[in-house]
Amino acid sequence: MKRPIKILIADDNESVRKTLSLALRAEGLDVRTAVDGTDTVGQCTFDRPDVVACDIFMPGKDGLEVLRELRALDPNLKIIMFSGGGPGHLMTPLMMAPHLGADRALEKPFAIEELLEAIREVVEGIRAD
């Protein structure tokens, strides 16, 4: 029996974390959450997930900094970056994410099905158990 995919959702918005967690758990994934960039890197250091889904705009350590640190920690870690950009923000950081090592980039708001498809795409072929 295969173990569930372990995913870490990183977003400073509690309602986003809760919504994504509930939806992904309902699909059988093992979901953990992180409240900011520092928490994300710390959790990945001690309990490596299969996939990290991380917001770009967070206070303190932003998602692109997290992406660089996670790539240094594990070049094979599957990383999905997402962002809504917010009012007045350009989507440039989200467009840069794949060039900085993200496996996928999603623009908020996205449907749960889009996130599930991105997760399936990035984990395909890495699960031998």
Number of domains in the chain: 1
Quick one: pLDDT band at residue 90, thresholds 50, 70, 90?
Answer: low
Lowest mean pLDDT among 77-91, 92-106, 112-126: 77-91
Is 1 inside any structural domain? Answer: no
Contact 9, 24 (CB under 8 A): yes
Is 128 inside any structural domain? Answer: no
Quick one: pLDDT band at residue 124, thresholds 50, 70, 90?
Answer: confident
4-53, pLDDT tens digit by residue? 999 999 999 999 999 999 999 999 999 999 999 999 999 999 999 999 99
94-105, pLDDT tens digit by residue? 788 888 899 999
Is 43 inside any structural domain? Answer: yes
If you search the block for the tokens 């900094």, which residue do you land on? Answer: 65
Of 18, 26, 5, the C-alpha closest to 120 is 5
CATH number for the domain spanning 12: value is: 3.40.50.2300
